[in-house]
Each structure stands twice: as C-alpha cells, then as structure tokens.
Amino acid sequence: MGNGVTPVEFEAGQDGKPFTIPTKITVGDKVFTVTEVASQAFSYYPDETGRIVYYPSSITIPSSIKKIQKKGFHGSKAKTIIFDKGSQLEKIEDRAFDFSELEEIELPASLEYIGTSAFSFSQKLKKLTFSSSSKLELISHEAFANLSNLEKLTLPKSVKTLGSNLFRLTTSLKHVDVEEGNESFASVDGVLFSKDKTQLIYYPSQKNDESYKTPKGTKELASYSFNKNSYLKKLELNEGLEKIGTFAFADAIKLEEISLPNSLETIERLAFYGNLELKELILPDNVKNFGKHVMNGLPKLKSLTIGNNINSLPSFFLSGVLDSLKEIHIKNKSTEFSVKKDTFAIPETVKFYVTSEHIKDVLKSNLSTSNDIIVEKVDNIKQETDVAKPKKNSNQGVVGWVKDKGLWYYLNESGSMATGWVKDKGLWYYLNESGSMATGWVKDKGLWYYLNESGSMATGWFTVSGKWYYTYNSGDLLVNTTTPDGYRVNANGEWVG
C-alpha cells in the first residue's frame, strides 16, 4: 500500500472516521494482494500551501499485511491501529510509528520484529500490548523512547533480544513486566533485568520509591537505566557491580546520595548528568575507565573524592554547572597520576586536597584556573594546623576537629561535641560516647568496622596484625563469605584463601 514516496491522500469525507486498508487492489485487469505498508504510506505532513490535509481517526490493517516499512505511519493522526483477526504481520520496520498521535495499539501474535525507534516520540501512546501467544523475538534500539503517557509494559515470553536504550528519555513508565516463561529477561518489582540478573536494563522513571539497592549479582547498569527518574533520592549499588553505562543516571533530578562499590571499574559518558540534588560523590579506588563528560551539570555537588588507584582522568571529566562545588579530594599517591588540560572545567574557588607535591605539580601544570591545591599528610587529614586555625562559626565558635590532651574531638555547627558517625572531607569517622575519636575495631548495630590510625573508616582490603580483612564501601566487615574479587573470609572476617 502506497508508493514509498508520497503519503496516501484522504478525502474530506474520510476525515476523523475509521479507515480499513483494502486486502486487494485492482489495477487495470490485474488484482494484487496488499502485503506491505510502504514507507510513508500513512505519514502525515501538513501541506505547505495551507491546504487542509484529511486523516482518519483509526486504521484497520488487514490480515494479508506482512510488513510495515520504515516510517509507514510516521506522524500518523490515527488514534488507534487495529489488526484484523488472523493477522500475518511479521515485521514493523524502523520509525514505523514515530511521532504519531497513536493512543493505543495491540500487536498481533504473528509479529516477530520491531525496528529501531518504531514508536519513539509517540507522546499520546497510553496502551501498548502484545498477544499472549506472541512470536515476537527482537525489539530494536530505542523502540519506546521519548514517550510521556505509557505507564506500563509487559514484554512477551518469546522476546530474546532487546536493543539498547529501549526507554531512553521516556518519562511515564511505572513498571516494566516480563511474561512468565521468558528465557532472556526478568522483572523484579517492575525493574527490568537480564534473565541472569547481571545487567539492570531499566529502572522506570515513575517508580515512586525514594531509595533502592541493586541486588547482589548485578554487574552492569545499562545506558539510560535510571534516566529521568522523578522519585529516587538514595541509591546503593551492590558490591560486584563493574560498569555504569552512558547516561545511566541522567536527569534523575531527586537523586541526593549514591554509594558506589569498590568493584566498580567503568563509568561511561555522561553517567552523572543533570542530577540536580546530588551533593557528594566518592569514586572508589578501582575505577579504570571513564568516558567523556562523566560528571556534567551537578549544581549542588559540594565535594568530589577520587579514589587511590585512579591514575588517569580523561578530557571533560568534570564540567557544566558546578556552582556549589567546594572541594576535590585526590587520594592517589602514584607518580603515574595524570590529567588532561581540559579534565577539570571548574570554578576557581574549588580547592584541591592531594597526597603529594607530585600530584600538586600535575594539577598546576594542567589547570586553566588558579585553584588552591593543599597537600595533606597521607592517611591523616587532621593535621595540627587544623587546631591552630580552626574553622569559626560567628555564632557558636569552633567548628570541626580539635585536639585535647592527645585525643581528637569533632565540634559540629552548633558548637556541641559530636558522637557516633561523622563524615568529613569525604571520609567517615566514629566518635565514642565521650566524644573522642575511635581507632581500631568498632561494633555498631551488629556490624564491625575498622578505623585507621588517622580515624578514617577502612574500606576494601586492609591488614590488621598481619591478617587481611575486607569491608564494603559502606565500611561493614564481610564475614563467612566470598569477597567480590573471589576470596574467602572466615567468621572473623579474616582472609583464608
């Protein structure tokens, strides 16, 4: 149906009324069976001369149709598409229904393939369903991208392959389900995973939980996996997670806190973009690969900590709106540490805290701004100068660390002495009931933590009295289990092989 170049023209009497595509067309003395909808056959383009363009309210596709070609219904004004009983449709090609005003569609059981961006930008689409006996095997890239009214979707058990960025910039989904019996994909509480749950594919933008922890065994967050979420405030990523995909957290506008695991190795381009409430970010020690513009447009970010084993930072590592950024802590001690001339596009008021003169020199020779760079003592950020020049609160007095009779104490903004857990410059400390800073082993709420000689909480692997232990990024000790990198620890947390 159609010539593949210009759309079918409708008469005034057909405007706003149902239309059925004929099964057969007669040309001269020959009769042809209609088996395909040609490219742009039912596309809608406003006439440049101002002439009224008529279009039906619904279109029925006969059972003889086997393929809808690229852009077959691009910009269609039809509210519904109906497939005749016994439909033989096998393939919907790229952009077949993109930018349409389609409100609902039930896809036939015979369908095997949905092309790239097939339904993208169909902003009025509220209901899309598949037959319970669906033969659909492949849904290509961004097939359901940029939708704003579709609230739920159930993938049939026949689906074997999903393209990338399937729900990119879609703002309406509350949950994505997978029909029981699917061998390639799974849904856990409305979140879409690969069947083995090693890849989190999509966390719906309108899933209304304020906190979420990725399940044990998750190794990868797919591109756009948390994009456009409107509710999530706190996100904890599991130990064992290795990769965060492109735009993974883009425009998750309520996200305030995210905990990244020590197992993390790769963060791709613009993973953190438009996170309007994110205030602090700690990049763990073992991240090896960064995409460009990894962090861009984080207006409330105050503190960034870059882990010990991160030896190289790429171009455009940190950029965009960073109005609140106060400090960047670089924990690396290696002489191999390097940055590019354009790694940091930051305000001049941001202070760097580094571990050596070498790191300071590397920054000085590459920064385009004259930022303060402060060399701290390794593993001891509470220097005597902190006491000599304490921070002042005009109403209450000293704020921060003070030393008295050889013991460290922390005074909060109200001027009172802190107890329990305190976070300072990206590191956690524990203050005893007396207010003095703890070192060594501490048990809190049934979990063991280890505080270094400097008082900072240990994470990852560390040694005590010649024995190796491992803690999560949250600091709690692993016991009687296997660490993310495959080593056994006993009931006391000691490495045994």
3-state SS, 284-305, equals CCCCCEECCCCEECCCCCCEEE
Question: 67 near 36, Cβ under 8 Å?
Answer: yes
Compare 174 and 416 and report the one with higher pLDDT: 174
Q: Is residue 200 part of a domain?
A: yes
The whole-angstrom distance between residue 411's C-alpha and the CA centroid of its chain comes to: 37
**Strand pairing category for 440-444 and 447-451:** antiparallel
Token digits of residue 317: 């590592």
The pLDDT value recorded for residue 12 is 63
User: pTM score, two decimals?
Assistant: 0.74
478 vs 306 pLDDT, higher one: 306
> Tokens standing for 28?
């001269």
Chain-centroid distance of CA 244 in Å reads 7
Q: Would you say residue 39 lies in a domain?
A: yes
Q: Which residue has the tokens 């800073």?
A: 437
For residue 277, give the nearest of 303, 252, 249 by alpha carbon: 252
How high does pLDDT run on average in the chain?
A: 89
What's at 45, amino acid-wise?
Y
- Amino acid at position 312, single letter: S
Q: How confident is the model at residue 32 (pLDDT cuts 50, 70, 90)?
A: confident
Closest alpha carbon to 222 in 169, 166, 145: 166
**For position 45, what pLDDT does the model report?**
66
Tell me, yes or no, whether 470 lies in a domain.
no
Is the domain of 260 the same as that of 352? yes
- Tell me, yes or no, whether 279 lies in a domain: yes
Q: By the 8 A CB rule, do 164 and 222 touch?
A: yes
Give the sign of the dihedral formed by CA 112, CA 97, CA 71, CA 36: positive
Count other C-beta atoms under 10 Å from residue 112's C-beta.
Answer: 14
Percentage of the chain with pLDDT > 70? Answer: 91
CATH number at residue 111: 3.80.10.10
Q: Is residue 387's pLDDT more than 90? A: no
Q: The tokens of 67 are what?
A: 């393929």
Please state the domain count of the chain.
Answer: 2
Residues 34 and 177 in one domain: yes
Mean pLDDT of 58-69: 95
202 lies in the same domain as 160: yes
> Both 151 and 8 in a single domain?
yes
| Alpha-carbon dihedral 125, 131, 137, 142, rounded to 10 degrees | 10
Same domain, 220 and 352: yes
Residues 200, 231, single domain; the answer is no
Q: Are residues 263 and 360 in the same domain?
A: yes
Residues 231 and 182 both lie in one domain:
no
The reported pLDDT for the residue numbered 160 is 98
Report d(CA 468, CA 229) in Å as an integer.
Answer: 40
**pLDDT value at residue 150:** 97
Decide if 14 is inside a domain: yes
Residue finishing a domain among 348, 376, 404 = 376
Instruction: Say if 50 falls within a structural domain.
Output: yes
For residue 245, tell me if it sits in a domain.
yes
CA distances from 46 to 77, 79, 317, 426 (A): 11, 17, 44, 57
- Work out the pLDDT band at 46, boundaries 50, 70, 90: low
Q: What's the domain range around 317? A: 208-376
CA contacts within 13 A on the Cβ side of 374: 15
Looking at the structure, do residues 234 and 187 belong to the same domain, yes or no? no
Quick check: is 473 in a domain?
no
Specify whether 282 is located in the same domain as 149: no
What is the pLDDT, as a whole number, of residue 412? 84
Is the domain of 235 the same as that of 368?
Answer: yes
Residues 72 and 213 both lie in one domain: no
Instruction: Tell which of 146, 177, 206 closes a domain.
Output: 206
pLDDT at 16: 66
pLDDT at 386: 36
Question: Which residues are within 8 A (CB) of 172 and not within 5 positions of it... i.e. 6 or more apart?
Answer: 147, 148, 149, 150, 151, 205, 206
Burial class, 254, CB count within 10 angstroms (exposed 0-12 / middle 13-18 / buried 19+): middle
Alpha-carbon separation of residue 369 from 53, 297, 348, 351 (angstroms): 58, 19, 6, 11
Three-state DSSP class for 170? Answer: coil
* Domain finish residue from 173, 206, 239: 206
